Homo-oligomer: A and B are copies of this chain.
Amino acid sequence: MTQNTAPRPLRADAQRNIDSLLDAAKSVFATSGVDAPAKEIADLAGVGVGTLYRHFPKRADLVKAVFQHEVDATADAAPLLAEQHDPVMALEKWLHRYTEFLVTKRGLASALHSGDPAFDALPSYFLGRLGPALGSLLDAAVEAGEIRAVASPKDLLYAVSKLSLPMGDEEPEHGRRMLDLLVDGLQHGADKTGC
């Protein structure tokens, strides 16, 4: 989905500029919101505005690309963490990575839900990438006998998002502590949940 399958292989400098633009857009979106001036993004990327418009004709194209880029980066972190840490630690680290993603993408969330049909496919992209990523970490931890089985990766993604997002208003530490609590719960948790 992020790479198109057309016969045109894309020139090397063009690909470099696209990467710069995505990096720049990520920063600028975080700083000035999704409605930041196009020139600000182009300047930070070290390209002209024409180049920005060549690769991302509409604002939604850029927002979508940044979002997918971040989803990919977060998903790709899972296998890396898995081979560098024991299962529970990998899971814990990845969930913290995920909350970072949630916080930095909060500005994008309102744009995503704005009704623009260009964004319709993003929620399923989100689940399609992050679900399996988290799933593999969970499976590894369950198989190692270090945590109890949990309903589904999707539920956990959802729960963690609810847990950490509203905290952004207050102190960021709070969300982090709540998440640690939840991971503890996975390890030593009670055998029954409420109704």
Which residues of A are in contact with B by a Cβ distance under 8 Å?
106-107, 109-111, 113-115, 195
Copies in the complex: 2
Q: Which of A107, A111, A113, A115 has the largest number of chain B CB atoms within 10 A?
A: A115
On whether the beta carbons of B110 and A106 are closer than 8 Å, the reply is no
Could you tell me the distance between the alpha carbons of A113 and B114 in the complex, rounded to whole angstroms?
10
Residues in B whose Cβ lies below 8 Å from that of A113:
109-110, 113
Cβ-defined partner of A115 (8 Å) among B110, B114, B115, B195: B110
Cβ-defined partner of A106 (8 Å) among B106, B109, B115: B115
**Closest Cβ neighbor of A34 among chain B residues:** B114
Could you tell me the distance between the alpha carbons of A113 and B165 in the complex, rounded to whole angstroms?
13
Residues in B whose Cβ lies below 8 Å from that of A110:
110-111, 113-115
